[in-house]
Structure 1
Amino acid sequence: MCPLTKRRNEMSTLSNLKLVAVKKPTHIPVIQVRRNKLSSRLWEQIQLAKSQIDGKPFVVNKFRSFTDKETGERKQLQVPKRIKPWWFVSESGKVCFSVKYGSSILELAKGKPSVEVASAGELVGALMSVKEAVDAGELDNQIQTASSLLKNGFKR
């Protein structure tokens, strides 16, 4: 293939794409970082619920840093992360869950911090709906409130 023909083919391939003049941002907005944090925790809860329904274990590993006492060297060890389920069985026998940001429970509506589903099978769908709401920014006010409460706990 001659170089001129190859160049034309490359140009026609690029013409199929939508080209824009946008640069990658240098930092992520704080609210997006908080959304991502909550979204990843919801993903863990979804996977935990799916694994319990299937009867299979779900393990997420994290790295723990420690100093070796003999050599004084810093090392990292991969350990399983402990994930506590956010759901519980209510007095009526239905499965309920609360969305947590840190140690705070988010109010999804005024005075209603929990979601009730009929069975464990519907739990995954409800968790996915909440995750979509978080990704869409519908819970930004609740996240902001919980974050400020968490931040105030560190002040003296």
Structure 2
Amino acid sequence: MSILESLTLTSTAKRIDTSPVGTARRKLLDALVLQIEAATATIKGEVFIRRVGRWVNVDGTKERRDVPVRFRPWWWKDEAGTIHLHIHYGNRPLELKPGKSVITVGAMDRLVPVLEQVRQAIMAGELDRSMTEAVARRQRVLQKATTTTVGKAT
């Protein structure tokens, strides 16, 4: 018996949700994972530094290195010491309910559980409408910028 005959072979393909909502959901979940890592490090008293692999020119040759990049936490502390949280898509906060985009967390030790709840809400599709609106708003801005630059060039 050959090795391939001992395996169970099927004709199914890897299914990736390529809808705009699925793509937006994946991006938001990836960003949320970073926020959870940063919140966990902050609670432990550690410094969180986001690192990304980039090609760097070293002595005339290019090498791939992990370099630190800017990280913006979605949470902040007000004057009373209460932690508040924005959920961002891109660089803008999502409107979670009409007119409301801020989650009041309270104490810092509650931040990670709240972020986990937000993750569950995203996976359940509760923020799909807000993400769709954010994607549409961004596309309008990009389309407007492209139209104005094309008009100026001619």
TM-score (norm 1): 0.75
Please tell me whether residue 56 in structure 1 is matched to residue 46 in structure 2: yes
Q: Is the 8 A contact 2:17 2:23 kept in 1?
A: no
Please tell me whether residue 148 in structure 1 is matched to residue 126 in structure 2: no
Q: Tell me, which stretches of 5 or more residues in structure 2 are unaligned? A: 146-154
Superposed displacement of residue 65, structure 1: 3.4
Larger CA Rg, structure 1 vs 2: 1
Counterpart-to-counterpart distance in 1, 2:66 and 2:58:
18
Choose from 88, 91, 102 the match for 2:90.
102
Superposed displacement of residue 30, structure 1: 2.3
Report the 3-state secondary structure (helix = DSSP H, G, I; strand = E; otherwise coil) of the residue aligned with 1:107.
Answer: coil
Report the 3-state secondary structure (helix = DSSP H, G, I; strand = E; otherwise coil) of the residue aligned with 1:147.
Answer: helix
Report the 3-state secondary structure (helix = DSSP H, G, I; strand = E; otherwise coil) of the residue aligned with 2:97.
Answer: coil
Give the % identical residues: 28
User: Once superposed, what is the RMSD of the aligned Cα atoms?
Assistant: 2.9
Choose from 15, 20, 26 the match for 1:25.
15
Counterpart-to-counterpart distance in 2, 1:85 and 1:26:
29
Taking a change above 3 Å as real, the CA distance of residues 86 and 24 of structure 1, as seen in their structure-2 partners, is: same
Counting matched residue pairs gives: 140
Superposed displacement of residue 131, structure 1: 1.1
Report the 3-state secondary structure (helix = DSSP H, G, I; strand = E; otherwise coil) of the residue aligned with 1:63.
Answer: strand
TM-score (norm 2): 0.76
Which residue number corresponds to residue 7 of structure 1?
none
Counterpart-to-counterpart distance in 1, 2:110 and 2:17:
37
Please tell me whether residue 125 in structure 1 is matched to residue 125 in structure 2: no
Partner deviation per Cα, 1:14-60 (whole Å, 9 max, x = no partner) = 9xxxxx98543366222111111101111111111110110122233
Taking a change above 3 Å as real, the CA distance of residues 23 and 38 of structure 1, as seen in their structure-2 partners, is: same
Superposed displacement of residue 75, structure 1: 4.6
Taking a change above 3 Å as real, the CA distance of residues 75 and 96 of structure 1, as seen in their structure-2 partners, is: same
Choose from 46, 55, 58 the match for 1:65.
55
